[in-house]
Structure 1
Amino acid sequence: MSTFYTHITGNKIKSVLLMGFLPLILLFILLIATSASSYAGQGHFDWPQIEKMLLGILPFVLILSLVWALIAWYLGDRMILGFSGAKPLEKKSNSAIYNLVENLAITAGLPTPKIYILNDDSLNAFATGRNPNKASLALTTGIISKLNKQELESVIGHEMSHIGNYDIRFMLVAIIMVGVIQFVADIALRNFYYGNRSRSSDDHGGGGVILLAVILIYLLGFVGTVLVQLAISRKREFMADASSAQLTRNPLSLASALRKIATDSKLEILKGKKSIGHLCIADPFKDSRNLENPALKKSNWFLRLWQTHPPILERVQALEEMGS
């Protein structure tokens, strides 16, 4: 039988292993790009030249990664709160919410996060911040008004778990790595395109190699990276569900909350802001995730690959198993 601990440990290991694929993808793209360029220029793979090209590119990639990381580290949470339209929640008239958050923070051994409100009747929530001392928690007006106390506590516990598990930092690293990989892939593809236009007809038979390199770089850089990022997001959601159940000792209340959230999780204010979607407790871009929809009970592995969140039905079933 699955327990809090097996769910948390299993999903933590899987997400770390998935993260390990991203630097490997970057190295493969760099190797493919330099090897194809060498072959197109000389008609064979000049490995000393390829090594020299790789060593010349890597410092640029590292500097780019550092710059993006610094921007995201210091401005990321403010940008997310600004994009979402979140406003500070007034403590005087919302003391019950503050009490729930403060009590869960004490139980989890975490600082109390800043609390924000999203003026939206849908049911959703998210947490942001580079570490527990800089964390913020945002709740929609809909989730506050439509959930009972135990359900709301479990949702807050889910978001507190993201904070305590450093999921926000973990996903920030993943997003930065994906951004860098896609930037490098884009430069490589542009280089092949313009280089091929200016290359003479005597290309040492490198046209086929370039075409293969373009296909591989596109698949790795723009498909593979996204699939890995989404898979990491899904594993961290499962982990936060289990951590919330452990924190509140009430997995069934989170299961009940998710059933209600499933009926209306769409956040209109986030329309067009896909980069924020993975932060929410449920997909904020879908018109409906009603569990009674028969289509959601069918396992379509291909469609699931492109989702930021696991199917809510699976999350509910896992929580109910913990509570049995």
Structure 2
Amino acid sequence: MLVSLFVCPLCQSPLQPAADTWRCDGSLNPKQTAHPFDVARQGYVNLLPVQQKKSKTPGDSQQSIEARKRFLVAGHYAPLQRLVCQKMGQLLGQDASISVPTAKPDKNPVNWLDIGCGEGYYTQAMAQMGSDIITTLIAADISKPALVELAKVSKAAGQLWYQQHKDKAENTTVIYPLVTSAANLPLRAHSVTGISSIFSPILPEAFAKVLVDKGYLIIAKPDVGHLTTMRDALFDSVREHDSDKFLQELAPYFTLIETHRVSTEMTLSATDLADLLTMTPYAYRARSEKRQTLLAGVEQQAFSTEAKFVVYILQKRADQ
């Protein structure tokens, strides 16, 4: 790990990880005092200062996290998970020169940021690719309950950064679970090789700032026709997903190099459908009677719908 990979969210001074407390050196603090950030027992670090919070408990709720975990573990979105990891492997394998400089000429580390990682379904798959692909995986989300889940799984697998010397098996990617805001990333400028944003916020300037020259950005979004039968059952009128509306905002910073689409037919039980509803915005956007009618019907017969996703692969522009 590079010593200066992380910066203090309060004063932007270099931030040094440690097993018990992360501490900045205070060099950019007008008072020259260091800010400490304790490591939670589960293994995550909270780098979201109270002044950066927009609510008392930002991000996904515990109920939403548990529903998403059950739904994803059942494999319903596995095709998207495989596609994202496949494209990451191709990008990083084909261009070994795009990485963060290091003192060791024989191996350049690849630092990857998974922004909006949630409980870690996609993050864990990325970590399984091994350190030959990704050396350091920064798993970031604004939801503390989500990071608790991710950190517990990572710790059990011996993947946390402070386990790398004692428990870390060879070829294991090191994971840093961080509670943080996408708008105020606690990362040094030009320090990460790539960023993945899977159903998460898109912040072009913030992403470009932390990416290395010619670094990659992978974005996954719902595609046109995503969960159409479910949305038709929940709403009187359905507005289609405008999946590429943000590409114009990215254009000053990134060049679109590939677009991929993947879909999967799903036959859902009542439990699966209830979890899908809970993990999506439809849980609160749809009227209660519509939700209840839909779920009651599935008690008699499994519900069929199609998940459709679009994955964009972009590269940081040379003039950024």
TM-score by length of 2: 0.26
Q: Work out which of the two has the higher radius of gyration on C-alpha atoms and give 1 or 2.
A: 1
| Highest RCO, 1 vs 2 (Cα 8 Å, sep ≥ 6) | 1
Normalized against structure 1, the TM-score is what?
0.26
- Structure with the larger helix share: 1
Greater share of strand:
2
